[in-house]
Amino acid sequence: MGKELIIDQDPKSPIAEIFRTLRTNLQFMTSNQGLKTLLVTSSVPGEGKSWVSANLAVAFAGEGKKIALIDSDMRKGRLHTIFEIDKKPGLSNYLSGVSEVEDKEDLFSYFKKTNVEGLYVMPAGDVPPNPSELLVCDKMQELVEKLKNTFDMVIFDGTPVLLVTDSVILSRQLDSSLIVTSYKSTKMGDVEKIKKMIENVGGKIAGVVINKIPVAAKKYESTYYYGNHEESNKSDNVDVDSISSQEENTNIEDEILKEIEEFDQKEEKKEEEND
């Protein structure tokens, strides 16, 4: 399996621990509402939706449950790369009916079993000309119902909200959405914007993940970020953490939010100066 699946490769690592905490937080927050379908989305590309959804799915599977991970980014989904599986047939083939599988209605013709016990991945499939249209069709509604009846938990890896409408469309069909942000790069204003866009269509927000936090950030070392971690193929000193929408947010979370706000203000000032 791919080296981005930290939690599978090194279950004792700090990052694996953080993903298990994120899983528990999601379970607690939504225990009364029965969270079964979760969308992972973000404002712009590259903030870590696919990485977070893949590792979170492994964390859920670790509990002995039957978990489906769906690549709903039919434009440039890459879950197949992360799990080292075929890209098709996948979601677009199921929704459009365009595929070579024998039984087109058999959900499991489109799923790939992974090395992680209980985890099934539906890759994105062939790139269709009309991804947003496929997501609003009745077949999609039916699929969500079928998935709910078949799996204990279904995680959808989505597209960036500010770029295409796919995730907003999906958010209203699923129980809740998790917003991934990238430390000191995602703008607070953008997070507020996508929160509103999702809520305007009747979608719910489960929480916000702050991804790609440098582990070297000295002041967090003893509290949030548990030391060094070598991972990923790109940057080797980043970590992930989550802010739940629960009330017990710790001071450190407020501190991070404050830092991000300050960063936003500095960026705005820079932009003004350039104008």
* Residues near ligand ATP (CB under 6 A): 4, 42, 45-51, 73, 76, 78, 160, 211-212, 232-235, 238, 240
CB of 157 to Mg ion, least distance (A): 6
Q: Which partner in ligand ATP, Mg ion, none is near 114 (CB below 5 to 8 A by kind)?
A: none
Tell which positions 10-49 bind Mg ion, by CB under 5 A: 49
Instruction: Please state the closest distance from residue 219 (CB atom) to ligand ATP, in A.
Output: 19
Comparison of 17 and 152: residue with beta carbon closer to ligand ATP: 17
By C-beta, is 49 or 229 nearer to Mg ion?
A: 49
Sign of CA dihedral 47, 51, 57, 61: negative
Please identify, using beta-carbon distances, which residue of 233 and 251 lies nearer to ligand ATP.
233
Dihedral of CA atoms 33, 8, 47, 84 in degrees, nearest 10, equals -110
Q: Which residues pair with 177 in a beta bridge?
A: 39, 205
Which two structure tokens, joined as six digits, stand for 271? 């932009």
Contacts of residue 124, defined as CB under 8 A and 6 or more positions apart, other chains included, come to 71, 72, 73, 74, 77, 79, 80, 87, 88, 90, 91, 92
Total binding residues for Mg ion by CB under 5 A?
2
- In the chain, DSSP finds a helix count (H) and a strand count (E) of 10, 8
> Over 183-225, what HEC string results?
CCCCCHHHHHHHHHHHHHCCCCEEEEEEEEEECCCHHHCCCCC
Binding mask 49-68 for Mg ion (x = CB under 5 A): xx------------------
| Residue 139: CB minimum distance to ligand ATP, A | 23
Instruction: Give min distance, CB of 64 to ligand ATP, in A.
Output: 26
User: CA 120, CA 66: separation in Å to the nearest integer?
Assistant: 8
Residue 186 binds: one of Mg ion, ligand ATP, none (C-beta under 5 to 8 A by kind): none
C-alpha distance from residue 71 to each of 51, 156, 188 (Å) = 12, 6, 26
Contact of residue 20 among Mg ion, ligand ATP, none (CB under 5-8 Å per partner type): none
Nearer to ligand ATP, 68 or 240 (CB): 240
Element (DSSP H or E) covering residue 272: helix 251-274
Please, what is the minimum distance in Å from the beta carbon of residue 159 to Mg ion?
8
Is the CB of 73 or the CB of 190 nearer to ligand ATP? 73
Which of ligand ATP, Mg ion, none does residue 7 bind (CB under 5 to 8 Å by kind)?
none
The site partner of 241 among ligand ATP, Mg ion, none (C-beta below 5 to 8 Å per kind) is none
State how far the Cα of 30 lies from the Cα of 201, in Å rounded to an integer.
Answer: 20
What does the binding site for Mg ion look like in residue numbers (CB under 5 A)?
49-50
